[in-house]
Amino acid sequence: MKALYLKLDPLRFVILNALRPLSRKFFYRGPFSTVELVDIPEPALPSPEWVKIKTRLCGVCGSDINLMFMKDSPTAMPFTSFPCVPGHEFCGNVVEVGRDVDGVKEGDLVTAAPALNCVTRSIKPSCRSCALGLTANCENFAEGAFAPGMFVGICKDVNGGFAEYVVVHKSQIYTVGSGVSPESAALTEPLAVGLQAVLDNRPGDTDKVLLIGGGVIGAMVVKCIRALDCGCDITVVEPAAFASDYVMKCGASRTIQGRILDATLEITGGRAYKPMLGERVVMGGFDKIFDTVGSAETLNMALRVTATGGVLSVIGIGKEVKLDLTPLWLKLQTVKGCYGYRYNNIAGIKKHTFEISLEMISTGKVKVDDMLTHKLPLEKYREMIDIHLNKNANRAMKIAFAF
């Protein structure tokens, strides 16, 4: 089958980092490219508890691009294995069902929660995280039946959706309802990321919310806040005109391009105080902040403009950052890590974020298929990367490979 291989090794790392100042194209064109279109065997079912899916659509995540350009923090490397076939935002039709799988049949349109946790790795008993329902935050990502990998697409033993076929464990499968298009189904994963971040830091109606980054996940956060009928005020920091326009349509109160601290004073009524050295700090500020960028600049600014008792949710993550934690203790703030999705208690009922997301899509509470602006065949992966690197000029929000 056709698949897009991601190859990272020490020699490639050294060479490409030396070439990085000359051109980013060395990362996906030429002899040292980290990605390559290959022919590999179709995956076999690892056990009778697994299902094979023929891929229809697979979204390209910013984390996929970061891996191709070797921008991720090395801290996550023990939980990744190469070479691998990326792609964790996919949907497709079932073509083979293991004998121990119930509730799904050949032909069904499905999507999958991609985490490779204790259940998928045949580890018993489950770790503390999995037992608590935090199935995307498993403690055994480098243990069990497969090579290290937090999720499908960054494990060399379980290929992702940048391929014609993918296998998933029965615990990962979510059947797509008849009213949900493949385009919407392929966006269930990023919607679930945004939804989980909101469920974990849910704003009140009178809260002032700041969202740093109005790309795919930022837009999903706004969509989910509004879908949960929260009337809070939402400010989105987004420099790109196309993304800024889109996030306003999602329900943002306003967008700003920069000057976060000055905007904080105007929007929240906070007061700024200038230290002898460094940036001003705001007393007052935003009640809830969602940072989808996760850089040193955005995190330090977020702490300075978060109100006393406010909560900063860190969704995006870059390399190591240096933080001035003075605002954290001075204003009794909380910083929350946001990664993945899990089982949630909704009105006394245990539901996975994927299940809630699909319900939101099928009932019309959230519309996501309009985010899919570009669909390309796998063979045009270089064009896909070119578009992704110039999303504003190409008016691109979400790009997907179509099979």
Q: What is the pLDDT of residue 76?
A: 84
Give the angle 25-159-362 at the CA atoms, nearest 5°: 100
Which residue carries 């240096």 as its tokens? Answer: 322
Give the CA distances from residue 239 to residues 44, 256, 262, 285, 290, in Å, rounded to whole numbers and listed in that order.
45, 7, 16, 21, 16
Peptide bond into 125 cis (omega under 30): yes
pLDDT of residue 97: 98
Asked whether the beta carbons of 91 and 185 are under 8 A apart, the reply is yes
Q: Over range 182-207, report the average pLDDT.
A: 97
What is the arithmetic mean of pLDDT over 175-197?
Answer: 96
What are the CA-CA distances from residue 165 to residues 45, 95, 375 (Å)?
A: 11, 9, 18
In order, the DSSP letters of 332-371 are T-EEEE--S--EEEETTEEEEHHHHHHHHHHTTS---GGG
Check if the beta carbon of residue 113 is closer than 8 Å to that of residue 192. yes
Q: What is the mean pLDDT of the chain?
A: 96
* 265 phi, psi to nearest 5 deg: -60, -45
Q: What is the pLDDT of residue 152?
A: 97
**What is the structure's pLDDT at 11?**
92
Give me the mean pLDDT over the 59-73 stretch: 91
pLDDT of amino acid 369: 96
**Residue 318 pLDDT more than 80?**
no
* CATH number for region 199-337: 3.40.50.720
State yes or no: pLDDT of 274 exceeds 90. yes
Measure the CA–CA gap between 344 and 365, rounded to whole angstroms.
Answer: 19
- What is the percent of the chain with per-residue pLDDT over 70, rounded to a whole number? 100
Model pLDDT, residue 347: 85
Q: How many Cβ atoms are within 10 Å of 109's Cβ, its own excluded?
A: 18
Closest CA to 11 of 32, 29, 35: 32
- The answer to whether the beta carbons of residues 255 and 237 sit under 8 Å apart is yes
Q: What is the mean predicted confidence (pLDDT) over 112-127?
A: 98
pLDDT value for 280: 95
pLDDT digits (tens, 9 = 90+) for 203-249: 999 999 999 999 999 999 999 999 999 999 999 999 999 999 999 99
The CATH number of domain 2-187+368-402 is 3.90.180.10 = yes
The whole-number pLDDT of residue 208 equals 98
How confident is the model over 40-49, as a mean pLDDT? 97
Q: Summarize pLDDT for 322-366 with one digit per residue, the tens.
A: 999 999 999 999 999 999 999 999 888 999 999 999 999 999 999
Residue ranges covered by each domain of the chain: 2-187+368-402, 199-337
| Average pLDDT for 397-403 | 97
